[in-house]
């Protein structure tokens, strides 16, 4: 009986200590964010909002988790650019080595540049291309060639920039693993919705509705291909989790450059919060809820389990 009383006292003391810890910041993590303009805080310079990594760090405080953010997102980056970055940038490499959590959001520029480089090499547009077609541009021919690039997997530009995502992604993950075998990696890519992208192409390029719809349809085919590469990477690699951000496409379209009236698919504040929630949900799917949340029920279960064994 004395032994049981001592054991029960130990349980109560242990729970008291754990409960006290749960009311303080009990977990500190290093978080490295990689990606393109959706991740890059410079995209939103002068705006009243920021990017999903910052929102994510703020949100995790409610779970008593403090995340030190190392944001290395750069606007315009393709998967190949991220691969080069993590192989050559010593600051990025060191941050990856010290990270507990790594997120990657990239892929839209791979699809965009497959079209742009194809049109430029054919002499239909000039580089650098600022998403503006001069009046003399042969728009129907541009539309035809751009849709061909997106639809034809044997096309050189498709092979290089879209099909090439698979190899880039495999190398990105393996390179991260050379630096850090334990970090959880969360990967997200381009999102798509037919009506939204049709409207975007109309607004950005003054294409007709039919031209825009055709281009958007083939963009969706390419986006689906890239998404599948990301899903496969998550399925075949340990501690790599796919983040489904498809809900963003038809909700957070907005006029990015209000002064110039240039339409853009970058998410606004609600969109970035939505993207934060997508990553947060993925944390749960990746069993991060076991780390990020410590509830009273956990302690009650511990008490009951130990008490039952007395």
Helix (H/G/I), strand (E/B), else coil: 102: strand
pLDDT digits (tens, 9 = 90+) for 239-252: 999 999 877 765 54
pLDDT digits (tens, 9 = 90+) for 42-83: 887 777 778 899 999 998 898 888 999 999 999 999 999 999
The reported pLDDT for the residue numbered 263 is 58
Domain ranges of the chain: 26-107+163-193+223-308
Residue by residue, DSSP assigns 15-51 as HHHHHHHHTS--EEEEEEEEESTTT-GGGGTTSS---
pLDDT digits (tens, 9 = 90+) for 279-290: 988 887 654 444
pLDDT digits (tens, 9 = 90+) for 131-142: 778 888 999 999
- The DSSP H or E segment spanning 58 is helix 52-60
Residue 65 CB contacts under 8 Å (≥ 6 apart), including other chains? 25, 26, 27, 28, 29, 291, 292
Q: Facing residues of 230 across strands?
A: none
pTM of the model: 0.82
**Kind of pairing, strands 254-257 and 262-264?**
antiparallel
pLDDT digits (tens, 9 = 90+) for 100-137: 999 999 999 999 999 999 999 999 988 888 777 888 89
| CATH of segment(s) 26-107+163-193+223-308 | 3.40.50.1110
- The DSSP H or E segment spanning 66 is strand 65-71
């Amino acid at each position: 009986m004395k032994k049981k009383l001592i054991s029960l006292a130990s349980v109560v003391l242990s729970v008291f200590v754990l409960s006290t810890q749960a009311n303080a910041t009990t977990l500190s993590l290093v978080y490295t964010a990689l990606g393109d303009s959706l991740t890059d805080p410079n995209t939103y310079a002068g705006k009243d909002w920021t990017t999903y990594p910052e929102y994510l760090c703020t949100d995790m405080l409610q779970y008593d988790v403090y995340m030190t953010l190392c944001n290395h997102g750069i606007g315009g980056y393709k998967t190949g650019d991220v691969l080069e970055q993590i192989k050559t940038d010593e600051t990025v490499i060191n941050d990856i080595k010290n990270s507990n959590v790594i997120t990657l959001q990239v892929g839209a520029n791979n699809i965009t540049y497959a079209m742009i480089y194809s049109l430029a090499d054919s002499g239909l547009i000039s580089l650098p291309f600022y998403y503006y077609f001069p009046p003399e541009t042969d728009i129907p021919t541009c539309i035809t060639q751009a849709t061909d690039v997106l639809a034809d997997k044997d096309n050189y530009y498709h092979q290089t920039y879209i099909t090439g995502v698979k190899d880039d992604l495999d190398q990105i993950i393996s390179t991260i693993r050379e630096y850090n075998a334990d970090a959880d990696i969360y990967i997200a890519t381009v999102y798509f919705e037919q009506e939204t992208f049709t409207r975007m192409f109309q607004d950005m390029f003054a294409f007709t509705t039919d031209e825009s719809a055709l281009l958007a349809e083939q963009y969706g085919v390419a986006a689906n291909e890239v998404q599948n590469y990301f899903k496969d990477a998550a399925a075949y690699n340990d501690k790599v989790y796919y983040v489904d951000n498809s809900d963003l496409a038809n909700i957070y379209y907005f006029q990015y450059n209000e002064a110039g009236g240039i339409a853009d698919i970058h998410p606004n504040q609600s969109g970035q919060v939505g993207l934060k929630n997508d990553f947060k949900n993925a944390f749960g799917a990746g069993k991060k809820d076991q780390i990020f949340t410590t509830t009273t029920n956990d302690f009650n279960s511990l008490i009951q389990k130990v008490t039952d064994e007395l």
